[in-house]
Structure 1
Amino acid sequence: MFNIFSKKKKQEIIYIKNLKINKKNILKKIKNNYNKKIKKINVLLDKKRKKKKIYIFFKDEIKKI
Structure 2
Amino acid sequence: MLNFLNIKKKKKIIIKNFKMNKNEIFKIIKSKFNNNIKKINTLLDKKRKKKVVYIFIKNEFKKI
Specify if TM > 0.5.
yes
Question: Shift of residue 23 of structure 1?
Answer: 0.8
Report matched runs for 1:14-29 at 5 Å.
14-18=15-19, 21-29=20-28
Letter in 2 for 1:5: L
- Report percent identity of matched pairs: 57
CA RMSD of aligned residues (A): 1.9
Cα deviation for residue 37 of structure 1 reads 1.3
- What is the count of residue pairs matched by the alignment? 63
Question: What are structure 1's unaligned runs of at least 5 residues?
Answer: none
So what's the TM-score if we normalise by structure 2?
A: 0.75
Q: Separation in 2 of the partners of 1:17 and 1:3? A: 8
| Match of residue 3 from structure 1 | 3
The alpha carbon displacement at 1:46 in A equals 3.0
Aligned-residue offset at 1:7: 2.3
Structure with greater proportional helix content: 1
Alignment gaps of 5+ in structure 2? none
| 1:34 aligned residue | 33
TM-score, L = length of structure 1: 0.74
- 46-55 or 28-37, larger mean C-alpha shift: 46-55
